[in-house]
Amino acid sequence: MTSLSKPRIESIDLLKGLVMVIMALDHVREYFHYSAFVFDPADPIQSNLPIFFTRWITHFCAPAFSFLAGLSAWMVGKRKTKNALSAFLLKRGLWLVFIELTLVGFAWYFNFQFRVIGLLTIWSLGISMMVLAALIYLPRIYIFIFSLLLIGGHNLLDTVHFPGSLFWALLHEQNFYSLSPNTQIFIAYPIVPWIAVMSLGYYFGAFYDNSFDSHQRKKVFNLIGSIAIIAFVVLRLTNLYGDRNPFIQYPLLSQNLISFFNPSKYPPSLLYLLMTLGACFLFLANSEKLRGRVVNFFSTFGRVPFFYYILHLYLIHIIALIFAQLAGFGWKKLILSTWIGLEPNMKGYGFSLGVVYLVWIGVILLLYPLCKKFDKYKQANKEKWWLSYL
Question: pLDDT at position 8, please?
Answer: 63
Q: Is residue 3 in a domain?
A: no
- Rounded to whole angstroms, what are the CA distances from 215 to 35, 78, 224, 295? 46, 22, 14, 21
DSSP result, 42-84: T-TTT--HHHHHHHHGGGGHHHHHHHHHHHHHHHHHTTS-HHH
Q: pLDDT band for position 348 (50/70/90)?
A: confident
Q: pLDDT band for position 10 (50/70/90)?
A: confident
What CA–CA distance (Å, rounded) separates 157 from 166?
A: 16
pLDDT surpassing 70 at residue 224: yes
Domain that holds residue 32: 10-389
- Rounded to whole angstroms, what are the CA distances from 179 to 105, 122, 165, 306? 16, 21, 12, 29
Q: Is residue 341 in a domain?
A: yes
3-state secondary structure of 105: helix
Question: pLDDT at position 2, please?
Answer: 37
Q: What percent of the chain has pLDDT over 90?
A: 84
pLDDT surpassing 80 at residue 18: yes
pLDDT surpassing 70 at residue 88: yes
pLDDT surpassing 60 at residue 6: no
Q: Which residues contact 246 (CB under 8 A, 6 or more apart)?
A: 239
Higher pLDDT, 16 or 79: 16
Q: Is residue 1 in a domain?
A: no
Total tally of structural domains belonging to the chain: 1
Sheet with 116-119: strands ordered across: 116-119, 183-187, 175-180
pLDDT surpassing 80 at residue 65: yes
The pLDDT tens digits of the residues spanning 139-198 come to: 999 999 999 999 999 999 999 999 889 999 999 999 988 888 888 999 999 999 999 999
Q: pLDDT band for position 210 (50/70/90)?
A: confident
Q: Model pTM?
A: 0.94
Question: pLDDT at position 5, please?
Answer: 39
Q: Is residue 124 in a domain?
A: yes
Q: Is residue 250 in a domain?
A: yes
What CA–CA distance (Å, rounded) separates 246 from 236?
A: 7
Higher pLDDT, 66 or 3: 66
Give the angle 257-263-265 at the CA atoms, nearest 5°: 135
Q: Which residues contact 113 (CB under 8 A, 6 or more apart)?
A: 182
CB 96 within 8 A of CB 123: yes
pLDDT surpassing 70 at residue 366: yes
Question: pLDDT at position 1, please?
Answer: 34
Q: Which amino acid, residue 355?
A: V
CB 15 within 8 A of CB 302: yes
Q: pLDDT band for position 211 (50/70/90)?
A: confident
The pLDDT tens digits of the residues spanning 271-306 come to: 999 999 999 999 999 999 899 999 999 999 999 999
Question: pLDDT at position 4, please?
Answer: 38
Q: Is residue 359 in a domain?
A: yes
What CA–CA distance (Å, rounded) separates 119 from 385?
A: 27
What CA–CA distance (Å, rounded) separates 272 from 288?
A: 25
Higher pLDDT, 285 or 382: 285
Alpha helices in the chain (DSSP H): 10-32, 49-56, 61-77, 82-99, 105-109, 121-135, 140-153, 166-172, 191-204, 214-238, 253-260, 270-286, 293-303, 305-326, 353-380
Q: Which residues pair with 184 in a beta bridge?
A: 116, 178
Give the angle 72-76-81 at the CA atoms, nearest 5°: 140
CB 206 within 8 A of CB 269: no
SS3 for 181-213 is CCEEEEECCCHHHHHHHHHHHHHHHHHHCCCCC
